[in-house]
Amino acid sequence: MNEAKDITSYLKHYGFFFPSAEIYQGLAKSWDCGPNSTELKRKLKDLWWKCFVTFQPYNVGSDSLILTHPRVLEASGHLKNFYDWLVECSNCQKRHRLDKLITAEEFTSFLAQENKQEFSISQNCPSCDKNKFTNPRQFNLLLSSDLQITNQEKKNLVYLRPETCQGIFINFSAIQISIRKKLPFGVGQIGKSFRNEITLHHGIFRTREFEQMELEFFCSLEEKEKWWEYWNQKAWNFLTSLLNDKNKAQKKALDQEELPHYAKKTTDLYFQYHFGPGELCSISDRGDYDLKNHSEKSGEKLKVEGITPHVIEVSFGVERLMLAILEDAYQEETIENSKGEKKREVLKLYPLLAPYFVAVIPWKKSLREKAKQIYQKLLTEINFSVIYEETDSIGKSYHYQDAIGTYYCLTVDDQTLNDETITVRERDSREQLRFSCQEQELSQFLNQKYQECWKKLIKI
């Protein structure tokens, strides 16, 4: 297995991620999406939606609010149970997540220990190398806001949801009645979630604001095992079909003491990032935990066919999946040509995830008008992303388009003026073919390639 490279500065340079509010020395360790990752992210979410909702006969979609009533999170157990153990270094005031500071075995025995205040940490502070820690304390990860209308009013507390799925659980009956579905059925949702993480790490890997793509699949207890297997396999296939090196993906079944408070069992999917293995998807058997608790606390009946369904959940983090895909796609190659050896950096992204599937490039300045015409025509003939790149050097254009992962570069040259043909260069092989722009020959070729990529993924 090849180790992935830290490509943070590369991603910044090529317009994938920018530090948020950088011109004001802004929010620490927070990132905004630049133009290229905005495209990638939209495409990734679209792929997930197609694979987990549109092409699943049992499933429908939902889009619930980020702002969450405190009673929802009281019922879901997040007010009480959604915390990490925090220690602070009394010497340098650095805060640490206890489970990341000590070994897994030490953390397990810490959890088992009755008097947590008496736990002694053998490791030194990674920042100042001193061993002067405060006692461990629970740190709730919920972020809140205040809906007060004037400054005088009492605080009107709301939470920013820590997972998107609670919106699905509280709307369970409304959804089920409106779609007239019996069991089993699933509800997918994509959206922002917020957690007040103690430490923020590795660029977009751990942040306070992030997006999740979640599927909550409702079924009977009798059928649960079958669906557990089915969704585990789907999640695994989805992840690995987007990677070049599938060996960088791993599964891990959590031990009992590692389970989140709502889960009966959980399998996490990991990717081998440049800093080591990191979780990017969590698949849980949530049993009837959520619906039962919401039903009890709200007094509403959250049942179908007379039973409280059980839930299998698949929860992908969008940014973590993007980071995995980008680290996996990044390659440095040495190319030999008539002028000797040349290095190229290329993102070998799954073609449907490339920020642009196609770029139209004029070979030289005098061909810009012709290239623009071809670009305009293509826009009416294909329905995937195409960009027009105006440049003085075709070499620089190829270099840039490879670096951001564009799948096909279409080059308009002198011959185009004579016979309306155009060069199509494929990103990975750099193979060049010539197609006519007339009679839709070119667009048919591109459409066919695009559809082939789709078909591969839909079969997962």
Q: Return the number of the residue (186 or 351) whose C-beta is nearest ligand GAP.
A: 186
CA angle 230-234-239, nearest 5°?
155
Interface positions with ligand GAP (CB under 6 A): 163, 165, 195, 197, 206-207, 210, 212, 214, 279-282, 313, 315, 317, 319-320
Q: Return the number of the residue (85 or 133) whose C-beta is nearest ligand GAP.
A: 85
Q: Return the number of the residue (165 or 422) whose C-beta is nearest ligand GAP.
A: 165
Q: Return the number of the residue (316 or 408) whose C-beta is nearest ligand GAP.
A: 316
- Smallest gap from Cβ 205 to ligand GAP, in A, equals 6
Q: Which residues contact 36 (CB under 8 A, 6 or more apart)?
A: 14, 15, 16, 355, 404, 405
Q: Return the number of the residue (36 or 189) whose C-beta is nearest ligand GAP.
A: 189
Q: Return the number of the residue (233 or 432) whose C-beta is nearest ligand GAP.
A: 233
Alpha helices for 160-243 (secondary structure H): 166-170, 172-179, 224-241
- Smallest gap from Cβ 43 to ligand GAP, in A, equals 18
CA nearest neighbour of 186 among 53, 44, 365, 334: 53
Two tokens at 308? 């409280």
Please report, for residues 143, 149, 185, 301, the alpha-carbon distance to residue 293 in angstroms, rounded to integers and kept in the order given.
Answer: 22, 31, 20, 11
Q: Return the number of the residue (32 or 381) whose C-beta is nearest ligand GAP.
A: 32
Residue labelled with tokens 């007379």: 306
- Smallest gap from Cβ 315 to ligand GAP, in A, equals 4
Cα-only R_g, the chain? 25
- Smallest gap from Cβ 58 to ligand GAP, in A, equals 19
Alpha helices for 171-276 (secondary structure H): 172-179, 224-241
CA angle 11-45-333, nearest 5°?
35
Q: Return the number of the residue (16 or 363) whose C-beta is nearest ligand GAP.
A: 16
- Smallest gap from Cβ 141 to ligand GAP, in A, equals 8
What count of other Cβ atoms lies within 10 Å of the Cβ of residue 161? 26
Alpha helices for 180-275 (secondary structure H): 224-241
- Smallest gap from Cβ 22 to ligand GAP, in A, equals 20
Q: What span, in angstroms and rounded, lies between the C-alpha atoms of 103 and 409? A: 49
- Smallest gap from Cβ 281 to ligand GAP, in A, equals 5
Q: Return the number of the residue (197 or 345) whose C-beta is nearest ligand GAP.
A: 197
Position of minimal CB gap to ligand GAP: 317
- Smallest gap from Cβ 11 to ligand GAP, in A, equals 16
- Smallest gap from Cβ 266 to ligand GAP, in A, equals 8
Q: What span, in angstroms and rounded, lies between the C-alpha atoms of 346 and 343? A: 10
- Smallest gap from Cβ 197 to ligand GAP, in A, equals 5
Q: What span, in angstroms and rounded, lies between the C-alpha atoms of 165 and 142? A: 15
Q: Return the number of the residue (320 or 427) whose C-beta is nearest ligand GAP.
A: 320
Q: What span, in angstroms and rounded, lies between the C-alpha atoms of 38 and 40? A: 6
CA nearest neighbour of 199 among 207, 187, 191: 207
Half-sphere exposure for 179 (CA within 13 Å, toward CB): 19
